[in-house]
Chain A
Amino acid sequence: MHVTINVNGEEHGDEVEDRTLLVHYIRDTRGLTGTNVGCDTTSCGACTVLLDGESVKSCTVLAAQADGHSVTTIEGLADGESMHPVQRAFQEKHGLQCGFCTPGMVMASVSLLRENPNPTDAEVRSGLEGNICRCTGYHNIVESVLAAAERTTEAAE
């Protein structure tokens, strides 16, 4: 089938098989390999992207369902050379180690902060429950999200 999907600000028309998952469309058709696959049960969140600004696990969405919508992946988050505040906070707070969960974790955090710009420690933790990280123990991920929240609030003031 034919789909038209806006990926990271650019509209693309592509032929895909009906059963193509969004994550495979992103990785294989669009060649954006930042989005990772870590499980086959929608449990890990490594594949999280934004669909019209809301975080979704792209391993459970069909490419067809994204037809006519816009998708943001980790590659589309930075504004040119300058990283998104959440990316910068992950860098400053050492919110990543092996980096495999990171794209999904960052996208989930962006969406979390959009819904709740001033979360508490506990709110960040429960907000990221669907994203698994095996390396960091989450401590610095939570710090990263809190730091990003603080920075965004400051910028708004």
Chain B
Amino acid sequence: MSILGTRVERREDPRLLTSGGVYVDDLREPALEGAAHVTFVRSPMAHARIEAIDVADAAAMPGVLGVFTGADLDVDPVAPGPGLGGQPLPSAMARPHLARDVARYVGEPVAAVVTETLAQGEDAAELVSVDYEPLDAVVDVDDALRDEVLLFPEAGTNTAARSGERDESLFDGCDVVVTRRIENQRLAAAPLETRAAACAWGDDGRLTMWLSNQNAQACRDAVQEQLGLDEGQVRIITPDVGGGFGAKIGVDPDAVLLGWLSRRAGRPLRWSESRSENMVAMTHGRGQRQTVTIGGDREGRVLAYRLDLVQDLGAYPLMSAFLPTFTGLMAGGPYDIAKVETTARCVVTNTMSTAAYRGAGRPEATAAIERAVDLFAAEVGLDPAEVRRRNAVRPEQFPYRTATGLVYDSGEYVRAIDAVLEAAGYRALREEQARRRSEGAIRQLGLGISLYVEITAPNNAEGEHGHVEVLPDGSALVLTGSSAHGQGHATSFSMLVADQLGIDIDRIQIVHGDTDRVPAGAGTMGSRSLQLGGSAVHRAAVDVREKGRALAAELIEIDEADVELVDGDWRVRGAASVGISWAELAERARDRGGLAADVHFVSDSPTFPFGVHLAVVEVDTETGGVEHVRHVTVDDAGPVLNPVLAEGQRHGGIAQGAAQALLEHMSYDTDGNPQTANFADYAIITASELPRFELLHMETPTTLNPLGVKGIGEAGTIGATPAVQNAVVDALSHLGVSHIDMPTTPERVWAAINEA
């Protein structure tokens, strides 16, 4: 029986559970012996001219090896971009490694202090004195759009990119048109391990850098480029990584600078930021102001949909100027809508830059359309589940070409809706809701449904690399350009290889996140690991198996068709005693280049997983407090390789989605001061705010890869966010509440009740 699809416990865990893993800060590599520490001096002002920096007092402190400012750097600022649809962005918006003339957000690095010990760094950094001349700050995107205060006067505008055109006749022929402005608030990714880096220059002139990052190969390229080094001069290693959620995709200029500082100081260096530093200086996610307009007929048929969005880029446009491209492409969601229009504007503000966060542009699309569908359902007086059933793309329509030009591969949307409604006991819940309403109960019940489709491995063009090799001791070695930060690649990828080679998973070594050992790869993001990385490893394993078969047949002197793999050894069909082991084969294959295969797998197109989330909440109408009491979901990402891992991904995603809907908001005051700059103020969701999750199972395979799989990593977040938000609104709809922005905090809920 195949190991695929079975509940295999994670191989990673014993080590993590007994000794706690080795994250960057835990490294005790000989190369890092005697490493000094880097402490950044960060701007306390959101927008200010830097008149002068005096480092003399700091430099005189004990243990100080050097204090560096922008004036010392011979490193070019990081070019911005790419913008919407890949368009170039104004070059004036480049991000310096250390701010030079102007600081543009609270937390921007303006100086770096290198000291023998961490404590000395903290003391010395206090003494770097910076003369700031405050400038007006612009924090709100609508204000930024007015271009009264400019972050980059040379660019002449705060709008870094725009796309889409407005069709004034879009809603012609619609009996019902509803429009609403909604906020997709800024979030902190908040991986539990903050950013950390360490580096050392070797005698051979090579720089080795250990990073807590999702994509070693891209970091290698970025470090080489930014520091002006030759190809092959940088090695990046990502050891255990304590969560990423998209915020560790890019290489931070802060981390790149470590390589430069290390060369200047002539010492290996370490940097590990505090949580407060992480909250203000690691990229944030989301941050879209959206206006949805939805139109259709009285029977609940949606005919046209418009999404106007403004993306808050923060001070320097990084990846977030590209992410609304996904929001636009996915705007119409899982619905068969004839006309879909998106316009997007990306603007800079005096806040930390935004970039990817779990789902990266797609949760924003789903949140918008799922709120819009509920607004439309309320207007036509139909149950929101029924409106979704009536508009969902039908199985016979696949492959389905959307109005935005994508081709959805496969899906069973209505079946997923029905499965969730049935499992949740939807009708009974609605009756209970009606009962509480008629009794005027203090605790009202809310049901929120969301139907979503997402795009996974959107960056499929890069493909992914996989190498499989049987070693002379009969074990297998796998190299993958995909790289785990909690997803369990060591378990899932060894299952794929065990399935083909019959070698025990404990005898399969998975190597990732080291650019010397795996030079080609694109890391882990966008739920691409299994469909691209897994497919590459699977194909490589198939190649190795066939090489093994050919060699076994040759050695036994028999037809290839007559040898088979039995319990991990090659046997002659029908004569089980005659055979040859993998170890023996690998030994014999040594002088023929070994039993190895390399595969670069590229998919023709991304895949489109989908699902349905039903959230049940109780809202206390006296306090505005919301309790998330049930959550029932289907997340269909095709065949499941290891249910343990897939469920774990779904759980984590639901929690992050619910957290956005209920609690989290990375907020700034109007002067650009962060108001939620640590875990005491930023409301990370805890165990007591979440229910047990009820997961249903459905598998609709894709034909786009040999495993039939789609991505699962972001599903929970995409589906849960609007489900929970819709549930909160639904609990109060009978009072006349039609929308509450996220996060639906008690204050906001209470205000909505009182204003209704």
- Chain A residues at the B interface, C-beta cutoff of 8 Å: 31, 33-41, 43-44, 46, 74-75, 77-78, 83, 87, 90-92, 94, 96-103, 106, 121-122, 124-126, 128-129, 131-142
Contact = CB atoms under 8 A, between A and B. Distances in A.
Given A33-B26, A106-B17, 7 more contacts: A37-B25, A83-B14, A91-B10, A97-B243, A99-B17, A128-B687, A132-B679
Contacts of A136: 648, 651-652, 655
B18 A74 contact: yes
Nearest to B240: A99
Nearest to B277: A40
- Identify the interface centre among B23, B25, B679: most chain A CB within 10 Å of its CB: B679
Given A128-B687, A129-B688, A40 B21 contact: no
B241 A98 contact: yes
Contacts of B16: 96, 99, 102
Contact of A139 (B245, B656, B692): B692
Interface string B661-680: 00000000000000000111
Contacts of B486: 97-99, 135
A26 to B, nearest CB: 11
Interface of B is mostly: loop
Which 6 residue pairs are nearest across A and B when measured between Cβ atoms? A34-B20, A100-B242, A98-B486, A137-B655, A97-B486, A99-B16
Contacts of A77: 18
B488 A97 contact: yes
Contact of A135 (B23, B194, B652): B652
Contact of B18 (A35, A83, A94): A83
B9 A46 contact: no
Contacts of A125: 686-688, 690
A75 B190 CA distance: 26
Nearest to B191: A134
B14 A91 contact: yes
Interface of B: 9-10, 12-14, 16-23, 25-26, 28, 190-194, 240-243, 245, 274-276, 485-488, 644-645, 647-648, 651-656, 678-680, 684, 686-688, 690, 692-693, 716
A98 B648 contact: no
Contacts of B644: 94
B242 A75 contact: no
A137 B686 contact: no
A90 B648 contact: no
Contacts, number: 176
A75 B275 CA distance: 25
A97 B275 CA distance: 20
A33 B647 contact: no
A31 B19 CA distance: 11
A114 to B, nearest CB: 18
- Identify the interface centre among A90, A97, A98: most chain B CB within 10 Å of its CB: A98
A144 B546 CA distance: 42
B17 A44 contact: no
B10 A137 contact: no
Given A36-B242, A43-B680, A98-B243, A87 B17 contact: yes
A3 B91 CA distance: 57
A99 B20 contact: yes
A136 B240 CA distance: 17
B690 A103 contact: no
A38 B275 contact: yes
B9 A138 contact: no
6 contacts: A41-B679, A91-B14, A100-B192, A128-B687, A134-B652, A140-B647
A97 B648 contact: yes
A98 B485 contact: yes
Contacts of A126: 687-688
Contacts of B241: 98
B192 A101 contact: yes
Contacts of B647: 94, 140
Contacts of A41: 275-276, 678-680
A44 B191 contact: no
Given A98-B243, A128-B686, A31 B28 contact: yes
Contacts of B692: 121, 139, 142
B12 A99 contact: yes
Contacts of B18: 34, 74-75, 77-78, 83, 87
Contacts of A137: 651-656, 690, 693, 716
Contact of B686 (A35, A97, A132): A132
- Identify the interface centre among B9, B192, B656: most chain A CB within 10 Å of its CB: B192
A75 B648 CA distance: 25
A134 B275 contact: no
Nearest to B654: A137
Contacts of A91: 9-10, 13-14, 17
Contacts of A78: 18
A57 B193 CA distance: 16
Contacts of B17: 74, 83, 87, 90-91, 96, 99, 102, 106
